[in-house]
Amino acid sequence: MWFHRSVTMPVPHAEAVVDLQAITANARRLKKAAGAAELMAVVKADGYGHGAAPAARAALAGGATVVGVATLPEAIAIRAAGIDAPLVAWLWAPGEDVRSAIAVGTQVTVSSRQQLRAVIDAADSAPFVPPADGAPELKPGCVAIHVKVDTGMARNGVMPEDLPALLADISAAQHDGTVRMVGLMSHLACADVPSDPSVEVQIRAFRTAIDATEAAGLRPRWRHLANTAATLAVPAAHFDMVRCGIGLYGLSPLADRYDLLPAMTMRTHVALTKRVESGQGVGYGLTYHTDTPTLLALVPVGYGDGIPRGSGNRGEVFLAGRRRRIVGRVSMDQIVVDCGDGAVHAGDEVLLFGSGTRGEPTADDWAGYCDTINYEVVTRISPRVTRRYVGGPEF
């Protein structure tokens, strides 16, 4: 006798559900704020934890025209995913494999004469790039570069006093046909506080760098300074292009959310419940003790999944219709939630964070629990948390 057994899909250990339509809508919102400036979609750090390639496609569908990453391997991965939009990478050290990044058409950022020499040495690997949307044709062996100038943040970027010598070298290399300067960029230190005096100081310093570039006979297509915060709140910083990262994912660096739509929801399920008596210690170090008889729920995620260890005895999750507090220390693989006399069972859904529309905590709430920023909350979600895409071509 044959018996039929129904087949159900296994429940993932934990998953981050990414709404690609939200990313597309956020790109449209940011493009509108940018006015005449183009929008670069920044998908570094695996799209701030959302998935670099899916996020890039969704942002391009929303009006972005350029994709940006930090590192050379990130650029190579974007090309391997089949994305052929203009692509910029801006953070690399001497000795890294710049040749492979150039070979896939990456526009490489230089911040020193040493970096420029490395680009020139690898220029023979540069492919033909046809003209598009006003961008110049690039023949084989000619690398499109951006120059990053330090306008006062003291991180990456050439110092203003060293800029003329770098521009002179670029001008000579451009005459030889090994490079073409297509971008000039910098970064604001305090754009999340638009009234901070440093914002205007940096804008003026960037304008001075533009003047120096033009004096050297160079006319880059893109001059870009603004991040998400400046795109939304500092129009004077827009120039030819804005670079938006966190805003694409629906999170604001400012107090105002600007109608951005959070794209990620992190969820899992209760693994086990147990009734305990008053005075029961919980977790490593027994940093929490129950003050009444209560129901504890074991949730199978921890700092190995990206849950901040500092959220122990502070963070909340949404479980069985309400927010409930994490108690005890966060372990590598698990947390414990005090459910009081609630009706909670193994298998119940647990929302770690999301848009907040169902009452669940948001990434901003988690940033508050852990004295950090919403960028870190989403970016730190580890690869062992499954990404599931909805609302777009990946679905």
Q: What is the pLDDT of residues 247-268, one digit of tens each?
A: 999 999 999 999 999 999 999 9
All residues at 6 or more sequence positions from 318 whose CB lies less than 8 Å from its CB, including other chains: 324, 350, 351, 354, 358, 359, 360, 361
Residue 7 has pLDDT above 70, yes or no: no
Average pLDDT over residues 110-131: 94
**pLDDT at res. 4:** 46
Residue 394 has pLDDT above 60, yes or no: no
Residues paired with 88 in a beta bridge? 68, 107
Note the pLDDT tens digit of each residue in 321-340.
999 999 999 999 999 999 99
Note the pLDDT tens digit of each residue in 273-316.
999 999 999 999 999 999 999 999 999 999 999 999 999 999 99
Note the pLDDT tens digit of each residue in 86-102.
999 999 999 999 999 99
Instruction: Classify the C-alpha dihedral 207-211-216-222 as positive or negative.
Output: positive
Longest dimension (CA), the chain: 88
Residue 6 has pLDDT above 60, yes or no: no
Note the pLDDT tens digit of each residue in 196-247.
999 999 999 999 999 999 999 999 999 999 999 999 999 999 999 999 999 9
**pLDDT at res. 128:** 86
Residue 159 has pLDDT above 60, yes or no: yes
Q: Output the six-digit token pair for 82.
A: 């089949």
Residue 3 has pLDDT above 50, yes or no: no
Average pLDDT over residues 150-176: 97
d(CA 192, CA 232) in angstroms, rounded, equals 10
Q: What secondary structure, in 3-state letters, does the chain show?
A: CCCCCCCCCCCCCCEEEEEHHHHHHHHHHHHHHHCCCEEEEECHHHHHCCCHHHHHHHHHHCCCCEEEECCHHHHHHHHHCCCCCCEEECCCCCCCCHHHHHHCCCEEEECCHHHHHHHHHCHHHCCCECCECCECCECCCCEEEEEEECCCCCCCCECHHHHHHHHHHHHHHHHHCCEEEEEEECCCCCCCCCCCHHHHHHHHHHHHHHHHHHHCCCCCCEEECCCHHHHHHCHHHCCCEEEECHHHHCCCCCCCCCCCCCCEEEEEECCEEEEECCCCEECHHHCEECCCCEEEEEECCCHHHCCCHHHCCCCEEEECCEEEEEECCCCCCCEEEECCCCCCCCCCEEEEEECCCCCCCEHHHHHHHHCCCHHHHHHCCCCCCEEEEECCCCC
d(CA 282, CA 307) in angstroms, rounded, equals 18
Average pLDDT over residues 102-124: 97
**pLDDT at res. 9:** 62
Catalytic residue among 32, 139, 274, 284: 284
Catalytic residue among 31, 44, 48, 288: 44
- At 44, the pLDDT band (50, 70, 90 cuts) reads very high
d(CA 69, CA 67) in angstroms, rounded, equals 7
Our answer to whether residue 139 is catalytic in this structure is no
Our answer to whether residue 284 is catalytic in this structure is yes
